[in-house]
Amino acid sequence: MRKILIPILTIILLNATLSIFYLSIPHALSVEWLDVIARTDKTSYTYRNLVTIYGELQLMGNPVSGIAGVEVVNPNNQTLVTRAVPAGSPTLTNIIEIVSVTPCDIYGNPKYTFIRGKSAHVKVVIKSNDLLAERHVIITVVAYDNDSTPILPSVKFLETDILPNSTIEYKPEFPLYTWISTGNAKFYACVFSDWPRKGGIPYTVEKYANFLITTSGGAATLSINSTEGKLEESNGYYVKFRLPPDEISGAPFGNYTVHVRANSQGYTGGRTITFTRAHQILADVNYDHNIDIIDVVLVTSKYGSKSGDLNWTPEVDLQPSGKIDISDVVVVTSKYGQKY
């Protein structure tokens, strides 16, 4: 009888131990306990519109703080934007941290002013505070101009492994095309365990650095490493960016996929949503499928304005150059009377 009881007691104790283990770390199960809410302010956008992605994180129906990793993939399957923004006031473990984000010259020396038509560089330093294990990381960098438009059609990234208690430097280059708006711009750096579209989550909140884009030499602005994207009135998060001006710059017509992966209190979760860039004849500024006097007035009323001006409107920079001039007027008048 004793021989029978011992195995039975062993099984009972083992089951009890396993139950306690799983209850103590329910996030280790295949079930994703964190509910990620994700929305866009519109379902469809037109030429150079500002896109807003926002939402919140919930655990058992209650809002919680955490970090939301956002990846926007365009219809050409290019990752146009990556961000890692706070929802509420998350506690950062910083097992992998972003030490610094510094605009620089080609050699890595700090530099904060860049001339349009040339290139800007940035140096991102990340550190592993894990003393035992090697970690897989994807470092992403996206640059926004003064209009919050991504400068390139896809993010710059480095996918690698980082050794315990070590650092990695990444120095991507960003060509500054002639359509890019001058003025204050930003580099956003993130570090993920994998791409959000593949289930990866951000290790920590993004950092950004300011830099200046000019048409000639000019005074530099100070670099500021900080975070943004937090909705102060709630535990929500948001990400904003403007659609680039043309298909070459990353904004083709069609469906865009937004992958949001988040973590909070050791739990993870995700959500995928979509929005559309609607088909549009470029001259149809007010998007009523009719190129008429209204479109002409919308362009000519901004004549002479340039990026950085208070009355600047990127949506009417139809021949993208960072200013509204005769070339933009020609675009709309050459299509006058067309309907589609």
Same-domain pairing of 166 and 308? no
If one compares 22 and 286, the residue with the highest pLDDT of the two is 286
Give the count of alpha carbons within 13 A of 103, CB side only.
26
CB 51 within 8 A of CB 240: yes
The domain boundary residue, chosen from 255, 277, 299: 277
- Reported as a pLDDT band with limits 50, 70 and 90, residue 276 is very high
92-132 residue pLDDT tens: 888 999 999 999 999 999 999 999 999 999 999 999 999 99
* Length of the chain as a residue count: 340
What distance in Å separates the CA atoms of residue 57 and residue 201, rounded to the nearest whole number? 14
Same-domain pairing of 296 and 332? yes
Same-domain pairing of 307 and 266? no
Same-domain pairing of 111 and 233? yes
At 10 the pLDDT is: 45
What is the domain-level CATH number for residue 254?
2.60.40.770
If one counts the domains in the chain, the total is 3
Answer whether residue 32 shows pLDDT above 80. Answer: no
Same-domain pairing of 45 and 141? yes
- Residue among 179, 173, 175, 176 at smallest CA distance from 158: 173
**Host domain of residue 71:** 32-277
Same-domain pairing of 72 and 141? yes
Same-domain pairing of 286 and 169? no
Same-domain pairing of 218 and 257? yes
Same-domain pairing of 115 and 130? yes
At 213 the pLDDT is: 95
Same-domain pairing of 24 and 36? no
What distance in Å separates the CA atoms of residue 255 and residue 278, rounded to the nearest whole number? 9
CB 121 within 8 A of CB 170: no
At 310 the pLDDT is: 87
Same-domain pairing of 104 and 234? yes
The domain boundary residue, chosen from 277, 295, 316: 277
Same-domain pairing of 309 and 238? no
CB 148 within 8 A of CB 185: no
Cβ-Cβ contacts under 8 Å for 127 (sequence gap 6 or more): 96, 97, 99, 166, 167, 168
